[in-house]
Amino acid sequence: EIVLTQSPDTLSLSPGERATLSCRASQSVDRYLVWYQQKRGQAPRLLIYDTSNRATGIPARFSGSGFGTDFTLTISSLEPEDVAVYYCQQRLSWPPLTFGGGTKVEI
Amino acid sequence: EVQLVESGGGLVQPGGSLRLSCAASGFTFTNHWMNWVRQAPGKGLEWVASINQDGSDKKYMDSVKGRFTISRDNAENSLYLEMNSLRTEDTAVYYCARAAGGADHYFEYWGQGTLVTVSS
């Protein structure tokens, strides 16, 4: 099973600041790393698939990078509506499909 | 517009059974793998089970194998999760999620979830 470790647990920033979220895999997942956003009380929403491809309707301030075992989700200029928990997921090797523990972004 | 609407959650005693349903609309149901993902209260996301387009291939997380059964009715555009021998640790919001096209196993669309509480 591929274990995903996200850091930090919580990120506290001000509007307009840059947010950098990390996801590290216990073994290579190639480029098959996905990011989701979950706002309080809502279902998760797909943000980025396969490292760097933004899903439909996702603003350009969200970007992803990385390869192998180390990945980053960047929010270039934080907006109040970006307050959420962000999860990474690997889809290279399954079952099981695995998620990271999440990073909470607060303002 | 893609819509996934779960139903069937509720309170059940340990050892009991429950059947979750997910009604899908707004896309060609038979083109996609379908999935159940759960989230225990205050915890992260956990993949539960997946089923391929014609129902011939099913995958499960280890802790639910032999207890949960995923199925689909393509004529009714519906996904199901039959849950037996429920444990307190199965308490969670259960989300129905549509995979992206082909064999891309990530979750492109999600329902709003249905809460399953296992408690005496």
Q: What is the pLDDT of residue B103?
A: 75
Assign A12 to helix, strand or coil.
Answer: strand
Chain B interface, best mutation among A97, A98, A99, A103, by max B CB count within 10 A: A97
Other Cβ atoms within 10 Å of A47 Cβ, number: 23
Q: Who among B60, B100, B110 is closest to A44 (CB)?
A: B110
Q: Please report which confidence band the pLDDT of residue A99 belongs to, taking 50, 70 and 90 as the band edges.
A: very high
Chain B residues within an 8 Å CB radius of A55: 108
Give the integer Cα–Cα distance in Å for A69 and B74: 38
Sheet holding B18-25, edge to edge: B3-7, B18-25, B78-83, B68-73
Q: What is the pLDDT of residue B104?
A: 86
> What tokens were used for B77?
């555009």
Across the interface, whether the CB atoms of A102 and B44 are under 8 A apart is answered yes
Q: Is B32 on the interface with A (CB under 8 A)?
A: no
Across the interface, whether the CB atoms of A96 and B104 are under 8 A apart is answered no
Condensed to tens digits (0 to 9), the pLDDT of residues A21-76 reads 999 999 999 999 999 999 999 999 999 999 999 999 999 999 999 999 999 999 99
> Is 90 exceeded by the pLDDT of residue A103?
yes
- Residues in chain B, how many? 120
User: In angstroms, what CA-CA distances link B113 with A44, B9, B40, B54?
Assistant: 10, 9, 12, 24
Q: What is the pLDDT of residue A68?
A: 97
Across the interface, whether the CB atoms of A44 and B107 are under 8 A apart is answered yes
Look at strands B114-118 and B10-12 and give their pairing. parallel
Contact A19, A82 (CB under 8 A): yes
Chain A residues within an 8 Å CB radius of B37: 44
Residue B117: strand pairing partners: B11
Q: Is B61 on the interface with A (CB under 8 A)?
A: yes
Chain B residues within an 8 Å CB radius of A46: 106-109
Please list the pLDDT of chain B residue by residue as tens digits (120 residues). 999 999 999 999 999 999 999 999 999 999 999 999 999 999 999 999 999 999 999 999 999 999 999 999 999 999 999 999 999 999 999 999 999 987 789 999 999 999 999 999
Q: What is the pLDDT of residue B106?
A: 96
Q: Who among B44, B50, B112 is closest to A99 (CB)?
A: B44
Assign A82 to helix, strand or coil.
Answer: helix
Between the two ends of chain A, the Cα-to-Cα distance in Å is 34
For chain B, state the CA radius of gyration: 13
Q: What is the pLDDT of residue B101?
A: 82
DSSP conformation class of B8: -
Kindly report the nearest CA distance between residue A49 and chain B, in angstroms. Answer: 8
Q: What is the pLDDT of residue B98?
A: 97
- Which one, of A5, A3, A4, A12, lies nearest residue A104 by Cα? A12
